[in-house]
Amino acid sequence: MKPRKRHRVFTLPLFCSPLALMYESADAAGRKHQPDTRQHPARSHTAAKMRSVNAPTAPEQIVATARRVCSEQTIGRMQAQRILPGISPVKALQILPGVVFNNADPWGNNEQNASLFIHGFNQNQLGYTMDGIPLGDQAYGNYNGLSPQRAIISENVRSATVATGSGALGTASTSNLGGTLLFTSLDPKTRYGAQLDQSFGSFSTFRTYARLDTGTFGHGNTAYIAWARQDARAWDFAGHQGGHQVNLKFVHKGSSDKFTYFFDWSDKVEPNEDGIVLPSGYGTYVRPFTYPDFNYAKTYLNTPAYRQAGLNYRNYYSAAQRQDFLTYFKWQHDFSRHLHWDNSFYYHHNLGEGVVAGPISAAGLPTLFSAYFPDQNAGQLSNVFGGSGYATRTTEYWDNRGGVMSTLRYHLGRHDIELGGWYERNNNTQARRWYPLEADYPTTPYARQQNALINQYTNYFYTNSWMTRLQDRWKISDKLTLLAGFKSELVYTKGTLPVAARPGSLSPATSITVPGGRIAAVKPFLPSFGALWNITPHEQFFANIQENMRAFQAAGYGNATPWGSTSQAAFENFRENGKVETSWTYETGLRTHHRLHIGPLTDISAQLEYYHVHFSNRLVAIASTQSLSSIIGAATTLANVGSVSTNGMDFSFTAQLGPHFSIYNGLSYNKSVYNDDYTSGHSTIRIAGRNVAGPPDWTEKFVVTTNWGRFYGQLIGDVMGKRYTTYMNDLWAAPNAQFSMNAGYTIRGIPHVPSLRVQGNITNLTGTRGWTTVNVDQVSRQFTAYPIAPRMYFLTLSAQW
């Protein structure tokens, strides 16, 4: 009888650092990828000892829980690809407690309608890195990074990790008020090999992944190149999403040095999903584009359906076009077994465009266009824009950023000391432009727009970010470890306005785009303290306290930034009196792991965590007027509106039921409340004591797994509680439950194909209807919500050589 393949996870009692987690996994062909322990001889010895002790009975792990002073859990490559091949690394983390991710796309790739909450903080208040390289704050209006799925091909992600509390001091992020999401890439294999995956599925899904590994060549060199191409029809209209992506990675290992080079090219188009404005849109579930039926699109403007739709009218198309180049070089040097030096150099270029083609008669647009064509009536304006009754609006992005990171690690007796620094220079541009949509030659969501009729406004931003840190991990005894340190964060941004909006073209008509100027977000001392206590060989107590800061976003009109102010005087006032957002995070918890022989129960591991967060100087872009249409937006005034208090608990466990079954469960409770009222115009918005809009109060996740030799199967559930959708808590999205399943079988012995894996997936198994992402509203009794994608079926064939 052949031994059962296992996915084994080993952890060390270290500080919150992505370097601390060590594991090995068996791929579908049975080959093992060993962790690189060359730079940490002591850790290598410990890990080897743990392997020898744990190997005979170690169960398969769905989630790896790191033994650190903070809560940190990891999803490995194998589990992520089981959930759905090609999945966004962020969506893979959705099964973890405390992580609330929503998207109207089953892969989680669409960025326009994605939302993420961790312990009450939204996706722009978290930190993201890939192999330690900063990915920015994930703003849909790109200005300082790119999404993980554009930074690396899904199948090349070795692990996805979330620190739900505050994350490591060394995380290269200027936005992580809350937790951090850390993604690591696979290293090249030491043996020559190749892999080819092909997925088919609902709505004409066609995804190809191909990878070639060189194996070891020269003196300690390995490399791989991988390519992915995805095409899938949007589930509620005839548009297609996807694109091409290429990864290349080279690793050289010497006796005292390790060199790593990584390159990513991504060229993707994601047609967006229009949300439903509620409650006026109750009874409407989808708001599909009319693309590519342009004849119908033109006649639609003269139908009662358009006139009665209000804000839920149908656009012709909308899409996010993104092209990225990301590359980094790492050099790791061992001066001795006690002193190590790690260096990283990176560069990222983004060329992006958010585009929407909609009716020129939509609320507010005639006023905007009259500022640029004052002598044109409605009929003449239609001719100006091509005679179709439609115009195309773009938000165009250029981003060039590069940086360097360096860390010295020194082991001195019972102390592990780290001294590190990070510098980044970011130059980014955002421009708003309007183009004609010709009646006889309509454009598509996949092409770049040409020859703008209106250059409404353009912002240039220049940002220098500096971060230094010092920390000491003191192992007082075999049972007790203390961690103390601090970081210094200095972010300087200069905003300029080479193209200003014409008077009367914004909402309200008295608003202007402002030239702004230079503003700084500076916190020289952000401390962190932690403790790790091994109570018994099976139980562990952890605690962590940390302060963090979020720098101002480098974006202009309509955004929650100083440069989105309605006047230069308002900008100057904020520069003098405004405060940067900060947070104090307190987390503590218990972990346990026992091998048992109680009936079918053979192994159980669990973690219980309590957290408290005090979020200060919360920034809100207070609208000067209620916008009549999302395509126009409204001018805003940036203001600090008080603080938020959050209390919550996360509980997760994995139970192994003999050699064939396991159950993972994650339960979370979150209570986030506004502490202060604030003023909007002449009104006081009385929200003190009300729940923070957006995150649910509780979530429940589970994964039931069965393994029988070459066969595996899983049932996955995600239950989400009530979500308030307005600051006043007078509207909400109802709870919902979504389920999915996967099953696979590995075939061996096929001539010329050592291993062929066949996997089937069903998403939204029960056909649940409801709302995924909800965009909350500050004052008015309305909000925007996106629908849950319907049930879909997928089949993947994966061959390895």
* pTM: predicted TM-score of the whole model, two decimal places: 0.92
Domain contains 668: yes
Domain contains 73: yes
Domain contains 708: yes
Whether the predicted pLDDT of 191 surpasses 90? yes
The gap between the terminal CA atoms of the chain, to the nearest Å, is: 24
Which of 7-11, 164-168, 449-453 reaches the highest mean pLDDT? 449-453
SS3 566: coil
Least confident of 41-45, 140-144, 391-395, 458-462: 41-45
Give the pLDDT band of residue 366 (cuts 50, 70, 90): confident
Domain contains 61: yes
482, 534 Cβ separation under 8 angstroms = no
Least confident of 39-48, 124-133, 194-203, 359-368: 39-48
Whether the predicted pLDDT of 29 surpasses 50? no
Domain contains 1: no
Looking at the structure of the chain, the number of domains it has is: 1
Tokens found for residue 409: 């690690």
More confident position, 709 or 363: 709
pLDDT on residue 622: 83
The stretch 84-99 carries a mean pLDDT of 97
pLDDT on residue 23: 31
DSSP 383: H
Q: What is the pLDDT of residues 285-331, one digit of tens each?
A: 999 999 999 999 999 999 999 999 999 999 999 999 999 999 999 99
CA–CA distance, 522 with 465 (Å, rounded to integer): 10
Q: Which amino acid is at 113?
A: N
Q: What is the pLDDT of residues 619-642, one digit of tens each?
A: 998 876 554 445 666 677 889 999
Within 8 A by CB and 6+ apart from 790, the residues are: 235, 764, 767
Domain contains 3: no
Whether the predicted pLDDT of 385 surpasses 50? yes
Whether the predicted pLDDT of 44 surpasses 80? no
Q: Residue 682 CB: number of other CB atoms within 10 A?
A: 5
The stretch 662-672 carries a mean pLDDT of 97
Give the pLDDT band of residue 16 (cuts 50, 70, 90): low
Tokens found for residue 178: 């809350």
Least confident of 93-102, 519-528, 559-568: 559-568
pLDDT on residue 375: 85
Whether the predicted pLDDT of 696 surpasses 70? yes
Strand order across the 8-10 sheet = 8-10, 22-26, 32-33
pLDDT on residue 94: 96
pLDDT on residue 28: 35
Domain limits at 234?
8-760+769-800
Domain contains 686: yes
CA–CA distance, 547 with 526 (Å, rounded to integer): 5
Which of 45-54, 100-109, 359-368 reaches the highest mean pLDDT? 100-109
CATH number of the domain encompassing residue 399: 2.40.170.20
85, 197 Cβ separation under 8 angstroms = yes
% of the chain with per-residue pLDDT over 90: 80
DSSP 44: H
Domain contains 49: yes
